[in-house]
């Protein structure tokens, strides 16, 4: 059993030797935040299984306790959920300089969900970008904001991806 610690972004329901069940208000009802959490946590090779019920915010995680002690996992989860909670930005919080428009690009180099997530999260940080959708399968990135096509291409290229073509 983990030491009694109050986590800010989840509550522990039950622990086993190699499994933990928690509930988190951060992912409750938010498939986008659940997806981000899943991608970020699955980057750890010690995580062997991750299941979530988004509508209730329940997360079941199976892990390798010999390489990732339970307390370390719980601490990492709290930090990841904090970051996921902070990533939520709304149109109302953006101070746009001009009329927003949609820019669609085909992008080369997205090879996994983390790639698509990196592009989305990085571009969404920009104050002139309202929304980003990076579709891994289609290799398409759609950006809604006031940045020019060239500015968006440069931002994506700085991340190590290549602009292939325009996308509708």
Tell me the average pLDDT of the chain.
85
Residues 127 and 80 in one domain: no
The CATH number of the domain holding residue 22 is 3.30.1360.40
Q: 45, 67, 86 — which closes off a domain?
A: 86
Work out the end-to-end distance of the chain between its first and last CA atoms, rounded to an integer number of angstroms. Answer: 52
Residue-number span of the structural domain to which 35 is assigned: 11-86
Q: 69, 86, 103 — which closes off a domain?
A: 86
For the whole model, what pTM was predicted?
A: 0.56
Residues 27 and 78 in one domain: yes
Which of 31-35, 77-81, 141-145 shows the lowest per-residue confidence on average (mean pLDDT)?
A: 31-35
Asked if residue 3 is part of any domain, the answer here is no
Over the Cα atoms of the chain, what is R_g?
18
Q: pLDDT, tens digit, for every residue of 111-162?
A: 888 888 889 888 988 888 888 888 888 899 999 889 999 999 999 999 889 8
How many domains is the chain built from?
A: 2
């Amino acid at each position: 059993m983990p030491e009694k610690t109050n986590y800010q972004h989840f509550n522990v329901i039950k622990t086993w030797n190699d499994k933990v069940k928690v509930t988190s208000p951060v992912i409750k009802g938010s498939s986008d935040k659940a997806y981000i959490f899943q991608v970020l946590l699955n980057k750890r090779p010690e995580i062997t299984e991750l299941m979530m019920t988004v509508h209730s915010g329940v997360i079941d995680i199976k892990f390798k306790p010999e390489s990732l002690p339970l307390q370390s996992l719980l601490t990492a989860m709290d930090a990841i959920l904090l970051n996921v909670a902070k990533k939520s930005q709304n149109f109302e919080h953006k101070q746009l300089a001009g009329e927003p428009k949609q820019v669609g690009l085909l992008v080369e180099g997205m090879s996994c969900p983390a790639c698509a997530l990196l592009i989305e999260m990085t571009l969404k940080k920009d104050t002139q970008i309202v929304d980003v959708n990076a579709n891994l399968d289609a290799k398409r990135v759609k950006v809604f904001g006031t940045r020019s096509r060239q500015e968006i291409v440069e931002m994506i290229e700085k991340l190590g991806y290549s602009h292939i073509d325009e996308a509708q």
